[in-house]
Amino acid sequence: MHIDRTEYLGVSFDRLTEGQVIDRLRLVTPDTPFGYIVTPNVDHVVRLHSDESEAEVAAAYAKANLCVCDSRVLASLARFHGIRLPIVTGSDLTAALLDQVLDPGDRVAVVGGDSDIVERLKGRYPQIDFIHHSPPMGLRHDPVARQAAADFIAQAKCRFTFLAVGSPQQELIAAQVTGATGFGLCIGAALEFLTGDQVRAPRAFQKTGMEWAYRLASNPRRLWRRYLVEGPKIFRLASRWRPASADRGQRA
């Protein structure tokens, strides 16, 4: 149930803190009817506005049981319009779930990542029963492979599922899941940060909203277009945004 949901830039966000999200996840059992959380950032929002073919992705975001903001830049732009969006990053949420919510013996499904990453997770969290599904590349345009991943989630009957195949593939898979239980988290590269396969920006970069600059400097060949060409489009989108009349009462 969405108690405090507000629209910004075409996405309906739940205005929940990380602690409030964690409290909700504590209630999930292996028998809970399947739901999932998405954590949009600037890249996700820009993409939703850039391509008419993204309607399917927008529907996946709208179907999510929880939708929280994973971007200080996005939260700052929303604040300029008088909207409070608490920041809940997928990386922090994943770490908190593993450290604070999961009980010994809980089963967790991992969709994406390679077997080495899953083995390192098992070594770090030996009390958790991880099971792994490794889908092929090209999921965005492979509905058969996405359905196979969705079927794996339904058959696994885990308490939680980490969808770690990148956006929008992970959101599309989550939206395709039927007849499943537990709860899915669309987490991108969060597991790689936990295992050390990727290094996250220092806290100073995170707190000042400059984590994107650290990531760009760490891998400019792969990320230059995302951060220097696509990302700045968010400022134009924000300058043109106007709240729906029904949403005015949800401002901070």
Convert the pLDDT of each residue in 163-175 to its tens digit.
999 999 999 999 9
Dist CA 48 CA 97 (whole Å): 28
C-alpha closest to that of 124 among 147, 93, 102: 102
Per DSSP bridges, beta strands 129-133 and 107-111 are: parallel
Give the CA radius of gyration of the chain: 18
The model's pTM is 0.88
Give 193-249 pLDDT, tens digit per residue: 888 767 666 676 666 667 766 666 677 777 666 667 677 889 999 999 988 754 544
How many whole angstroms separate alpha carbon 106 and alpha carbon 90?
A: 20
Using an 8 Å Cβ cutoff, are 85 and 42 in contact? no
Backbone angles phi, psi at 239, to 5 degrees: -70, -25
In terms of DSSP bridges, do strands 66-67 and 35-38 run parallel, antiparallel, or are they unpaired?
A: parallel
In this prediction, the residues of the chain whose per-residue pLDDT falls under 70 are 1-3, 51-53, 197, 199-202, 204-209, 212-217, 223-227, 229, 245-252
